[in-house]
Structure 1
Amino acid sequence: MTYLATILQSFFTDYVHTQRSLSANTIASYRDTWKILIKYLASTSGTAADELRLEALDRAAVTGFLAYLRDDRANAAATRNHRLTAIRSLAAFALPDHLEHAECLRQILAIKPSKTPTPTVAYLSDDEVLALLAAPVTTSWIGRRDQAMLALTVATGLRISELIALTIGDVDMGASPFINCVGKGRKHRVTPLTVEISQQMRHYLDERTQHPGTALFPGRRGRSLSRDAIESRLAVHVASAALSCPSITSKQITWHTLRHTTAMNLLHSGVDITVIALWLGHEQTSTTDVYLHADMETKKQALEQTRSPEIEPGVYAPAPRVLAWLDSL
């Protein structure tokens, strides 16, 4: 007899931290999944949450839970896949120590995720980036902080979680300036800074020492800004940028859009996709391939290489007075 609560306790107190070194965001996602699943199992089985046993977790229960997420909670396929990943992770953890339930656990591990459409990568054009960076009112400390935060993110492609975790000590302004951050899976990553960003960060750090705390981009009390606070500041500056660059209003811009912009800038500069993957902290280059699919300039260059010598380069344009030409046919 094995209680599900016992396995969950071991899974969350040891496995995800010590053995897997999962990020705080991933652990929180796993935790939320199991909170929803435990309530679902307790409701459908009529068993108290603390009394649920491992055998209550079988393929039928999991597929029923996924259907519940789709039908009752109106979750998208991507969300259901995230929940399934959390369930399969615990099943894989429990399998070696609970061979008496091996068949049930293997059946859970065999459940395939739902197919999801490839998301469209939103990124900013050069004009939109310039408008956004010019949006903060730099006559105040808050404006100068926000401007430095935006410029650093566009230059480095830091995730919002990485930006929040940055401290003053993570910025090295030596002979070759760089940012040291901890990314997904608690992997350390070093990202170099351009001359322009280095100069801006030097000025910012000089002023930053006049404020309390060690967070690189602090709030009024010196602590790191929250995710919601950063996204809120971005929304304010996007609205201001739209006054001089209306095209920015056609895009749904989040902080991750700035990370996509960094990747596309590197790609347009001719940087190899494997280097971009290292720059962004992607574990596999397949994650970075989405930028190749989204980049029309790279596709146009590839098409140009297939052009016959007798065909003039460039994009096709119809002859003038096309209606008259059609009448002549």
Structure 2
Amino acid sequence: MNTLAAELQTYFGGFARSQRDLSDHTIAAYRDTWRMLITFLADKTGTRPERIDIEDVNAENIAAFLDYLEHDRGNSVATRNARLSGIRAVLAHAMPRQLDHAAMLSRALSIPAKRHPKPMLEYLTIDESDALTAAPDRTTWTGRRDHALFALAIQTGLRISELCSLTCTDIHLGAAASVTCTGKGRRTRATPLTSTTTAIMTGYLAERRSRPGEALFCGPRGQQLSRDALEHRLHVHVDTAVVDCASLADKHVTMHTLRHTAAMNLLAGGVDISVIALWLGHQRTQSTDAYLHADMSVKQAAIDRTRPGDTKPGIYRPEPDILAWLATL
């Protein structure tokens, strides 16, 4: 076993879970990054993958790998940066024990994330949301499940990973209905449910409890649905909803779009941005500021409060003869 293999086993075999407490999704993403990197380096150097060692993971080869992701595989800049994070995590952990390669590792760790323009957030209007939730065929079990899934997602704004991990015990019905989930950073939060969502979930849970498994939104044998399965079901129903709501055809709708929709609905209702950040489970309110940029009504209100274009600049000074001025009113 060479040095790189030992460091990878040390990181993924214990450190990632016991010390960093990374989620299964993050560990899987980092693992896939290293599998692709080692395969890329093996092809580039003509070496067997098991012979790729730590000196091969230098700044030049990492930069070439990142260019390969972006230009050959067609990955977005965001994906490129996420892969870079996975590489950095392992190298930063290895550096204190690899002093002979400290200079090389420092150069590799100094590769910056690539800056890129962030697109405007895409979200659904009320009519589009209604068309999507009405699309599933509720005469079937999967249709009733998907209807409940979309209604919960649009109202609560849960992440796709949070929706996948929900169990039946995470839904609390009654006078103060809510859903509890554990999101990014192991932060647990409870999100209240509206009366409409509560009614939908009450009916769904009554049927769900007769099926095996604990996952709230389950597959045919009671197993937890994967992220890909949720996205697939969404795309199926978007195609159906387009018939009644043509504007959906112009939008790239994902499960994260439903999260954006929940946030925009709260913003349109006059909810403060800091409360929306708590609602969505954001650690910083800066993450929520993007919704202010996406809401044109907020910008229109700002324009409406500005002075007319023909107003003369300067400090207001009252008329010297106040009686004469009042007479002109």
TM-score band, normalised by the shorter chain? Answer: 0.7 to 0.9
Match of 1:237?
A: 237
For 1:40, give the aligned amino acid: F
Within 5 Å, which residues of 2 pair with 1:1-329?
A: 3-308=3-308
Give yes or no for contact 1:20–1:185 (8 Å, CA) kept in 2.
no
- Report Cα offsets for 1:56-111 as digits up to 9, x if no partner: 22212212222333343333322221211111111221222323322222212211
CA RMSD of aligned residues (A): 2.2
Q: Structure 2 unaligned segments of length 5 or more: list them.
A: 312-329
Evaluate the alpha carbon distance shift between residue 67 and residue 240 of structure 1 in structure 2; reply closer, same or farther with a 3 A threshold. closer
For 1:253, give the aligned amino acid: V
SS in 2 for 1:189: strand
- Report Cα offsets for 1:144-194 as digits up to 9, x if no partner: 221111101101111122111111111112442211112223332221112
Q: Structure 1 unaligned segments of length 5 or more: list them.
A: 312-329
For 1:273, give the aligned amino acid: I
Evaluate the alpha carbon distance shift between residue 88 and residue 299 of structure 1 in structure 2; reply closer, same or farther with a 3 A threshold. same
Distance 1:219 1:36 in 2: 30
- Report Cα offsets for 1:262-317 as digits up to 9, x if no partner: 01111111222222222112233222222121111111112222234999xxxxxx
SS in 2 for 1:190: strand
Distance 2:309 2:53 in 1: 71
Evaluate the alpha carbon distance shift between residue 225 and residue 44 of structure 1 in structure 2; reply closer, same or farther with a 3 A threshold. closer
Q: CA deviation at 1:25?
A: 2.1
TM (normalized to structure 2)?
Answer: 0.87
Distance 2:83 2:174 in 1: 44
Q: CA deviation at 1:206?
A: 1.6
For 1:104, give the aligned amino acid: M
Paired-residue identity, %? 50
For 1:295, give the aligned amino acid: D
Distance 1:244 1:49 in 2: 52
Between 1:30-39 and 1:184-193, the stretch displaced more is 184-193
SS in 2 for 1:179: strand
